[in-house]
Chains A and B, each alone.
Chain A
Amino acid sequence: MLVDVHAHFYHARTPRADWRERNTSRLRAGDRIGITTHVASILGTWGQSSPTYFPSTADVQTGNDALLGLIHEHRTKIRGYVTVNPNYTAHALGEITRCLAAGMIGIKLAASRRANDRLLDPVCELARERGVPVLHHVWQHRRRDWPGQEASDAVELVALARRHPAVAFILAHIGGGGEWGHSLAAVRDVANVYVDLSGSGVDSGMLEACVDEVGVERLLWGCDLTMDTGWAKLRYLERLLAPGALAQVQWQNAARIFPRGAFSSD
């Protein structure tokens, strides 16, 4: 069993005219890699009618609806995170309630608001009530603001995680750019923060550092957009880890933090 905890898909109202082909190619690549479940999110309209990381409420809903459609179409393959913009608290809480009821299994917070901001507390409180994890977009060691997003780094995510110790937080794409060593040091002793291994970065030494600093029991395999690099890291882990530890990273840790029954055979 192999769970990709950080997947994305497209839909008709995104800038990609080839959205259907891209979705198909992602599923085809997933079959080749051996992915049993893609846990996906859609960030609004991916910039078409509001910014990817600052989606309007209408676009949040459009993206979530599109993902629900894909989940319905690929029941055994695709599961979903509800994407929300926490600047619109009431809408975010309503959207979480609606989409979890429709079968989604987690919450996606991207970069609309810094992770340590109190505005995220109601979202996390609802995550606790519903027993779902929160996948949080992270810039590994953000040294300044970058255009287009209010990115958080691991220190800010840790502040949120400490305020909500009963919620499992997934630090997004350790290989997604930035100084991953900084993030690993920040989350080392924070038991409710898990590290997703996705991202285009395939730095030598990064996976060993993840194992050493965080431990296999808090690592989650994933791809993000670049599934080739996800596959590369999986192949490397197959040699790095004993079979039991590998299974933890491949799916067992995910099965532990997502709602029971989220994956077909857990």
Chain B
Amino acid sequence: MRIDVNAFLGAYPYRPVPGTAPEAICRAMDRTGIDEAWVSYLPGVFWHVPTDGNERLYETTKTEPRLKPVPAVHPGLPGWEAWLGEAADRGAPAVRCDPGHYGLDPVGPEMRVLAAACSAARMPLMLAVRLEDARQRHPNDRAPELPAAAVRALVRADADLRLVVTHADRAFVEEVHFGSTPDEAARVWWDITWLWGPPEDHLPTLVAALGAERFVFGTGQPLRLPEASVAKLELLEVAADARAAIESGNARLGLAA
């Protein structure tokens, strides 16, 4: 069983990306042995009202049961709480918020209220550190990356908040993990998309230091080839149960708890 917690549907504004339609995502999943993908609506990240993409996301995922919706929530918009409630009603495994793209302070009052609301709703909150390598961003793609300090602040802001952080590199993960208490760190799950796999030692070192239970399989598809995350896990020398936990167990059990 392999669950990709970090996938998208829809076009990217800064370059043509092939395979953004649901059927193309499913073909890529077949190709790489991915059974389930948690998908966000990519164009919405860049919209004034990101939640305008949620209905499209729900419609799509309704017809393709292998895709699970991760709808957007923008805590600076009037009535945003309804989107959180709807996410729970629709069985979303998480909601996402991209404060840098929304023009929000990542540790400002809106985000703190969102953290509390997600906690109360027992809904994991997904945050992306970045969507693109800083070296290749479009000149007008100026949204700030999510700072590690913001993750530390949010996980401290509410004792029951669970975070899924995508596209973080090794230094980011280490800074947050070792800058948190064990109880705080145990409420953060890290997607492996942006971590260097073996033979470089980033992923092996992190798994050894933090424990396999802190990591979830993600790909960033269709912006990135999903083969990359499959390859890094195959090269990772860990016990079968640890591999299974990363591939699906942590997403199914840890995050769903």
Contacts and interface: CB of A to CB of B under 8 A. Distances in A.
A249 B135 CA distance: 26
Nearest to B236: A228
A18 to B, nearest CB: 7
A29 B235 contact: yes
Contacts of A181: 15
Contacts of B198: 25, 29, 227-228
Contacts of A229: 197, 228, 231
A202 B228 contact: yes
Contacts of A140: 135-136
A259 interface: no
Contacts of B17: 203-205
Interface string A203-239: 1110010000000000000000111110111011001
B199 A29 contact: yes
Interface residues of A, number: 34
B18 interface: yes
B196 to A, nearest CB: 6
Interface stretch (B80-88, B94-102, B219-227, B238-246): B219-227
A228 B232 contact: yes
B16 interface: yes
A204 B225 contact: yes
B19 interface: yes
A177 B134 CA distance: 8
A202 to B, nearest CB: 4
A29 B225 CA distance: 20
Interface string B189-223: 00000001111110000000000000000000111
A180 interface: yes
A128 interface: no
Nearest to B230: A232
A228 B136 contact: no
B227 A203 contact: no
A18 B231 contact: no
Contact of B197 (A180, A203, A204, A226): A226
* Size class of the contact patch on chain B: 20 to 34
A204 B224 CA distance: 5
A42 to B, nearest CB: 16
Nearest to B19: A204
A140 B225 CA distance: 19
A200 interface: yes
Contacts of B227: 202, 231-233, 235-236
Contacts of A204: 17-19, 221-225
Interface in B127-165: 133, 135-136, 139
Which of A28, A141, A232 is packed against the most chain B CB atoms within 10 Å? A232
Contacts of B224: 202-204
B235 A227 contact: yes
Nearest to B202: A226
A177 B135 contact: yes
A231 B231 contact: yes
Contacts of B197: 226, 228-229
A18 B201 contact: yes
Find the residue from B17, B198, B227 having the highest chain A CB count within 10 A.
B227
Interface in B1-47: 15-19, 31
Nearest to A18: B201
A136 B194 CA distance: 26
Nearest to A230: B231
Contact of A239 (B31, B139, B232): B31
Given A227-B235, A239-B31, A201 B136 contact: yes
Nearest to B233: A228
Given A204-B223, A208-B18, 13 more contacts: A22-B199, A22-B201, A26-B199, A141-B136, A143-B139, A177-B136, A201-B133, A201-B136, A204-B17, A226-B196, A228-B232, A232-B231, A235-B231
26 contacts: A22-B199, A22-B201, A25-B198, A25-B199, A25-B201, A28-B199, A29-B199, A143-B139, A200-B196, A201-B136, A202-B225, A203-B225, A204-B18, A204-B222, A225-B200, A226-B197, A227-B200, A227-B235, A228-B196, A228-B197, A228-B198, A231-B227, A231-B234, A231-B235, A232-B225, A236-B225
Interface of A: 18, 22, 25-26, 28-29, 32, 139-141, 143, 177-181, 200-205, 208, 225-229, 231-233, 235-236, 239
Closest 3 CB pairs of A and B: A228-B197, A232-B227, A25-B199
